[in-house]
Amino acid sequence: MHKRTLGQGLEVSAIGLGAMGMSMSYGPNPGDRDDMIGVLRYAIESGTTFIDTAEVYGPYVNEELVGEAIAPLRDEVIVATKFGFDIVDGANRGTDSRPEHIRTVADASLRRLGVDTIDLFYQHRVDPLIPIEDVAGTVAELVREGKVKHFGLSEAAASTIRRAHAVFPVTAVQSEYSLWTRDPEAEVLPACAELGIGFVPFSPLGKGFLTGTVDAGASFGAGEIRARVPRFAPENLAANQALVDEVRALAAQRGATPAQVALAWLLAQQSFIVPIPGTRRRERIDENAGATAVALSADDIDGLNLLVERIGVAGNRYDEAGMRAVGL
Which residues belong to the active site?
57
**Is the Cβ–Cβ distance between 182 and 42 less than 8 Å?**
no
**Is the Cβ–Cβ distance between 221 and 246 less than 8 Å?**
no
Contacts of 86 (CB under 8 A, 6+ apart): 92, 93, 94, 95, 96, 101
Q: Which 3 state secondary structure label does DSSP give 209?
A: helix
Nearest to 117 by CA among 165, 154, 80: 80
**Is the Cβ–Cβ distance between 250 and 304 less than 8 Å?**
yes
Buried b (16+ CB within 10 A) or exposed e, 193-213: eebbbbbbbbbbbbbbbbbbe
**Distance of alpha carbon 113 from alpha carbon 83, whole angstroms:** 14
Q: What is the radius of gyration, based on Cα positions, of the chain?
A: 19
- Please report the beta strands in 134-288, taking only residues with DSSP state E, as ranges in sequence order: 148-154, 170-176, 198-202
The β-bridge partners of 3 are 13
**Distance of alpha carbon 197 from alpha carbon 222, whole angstroms:** 37
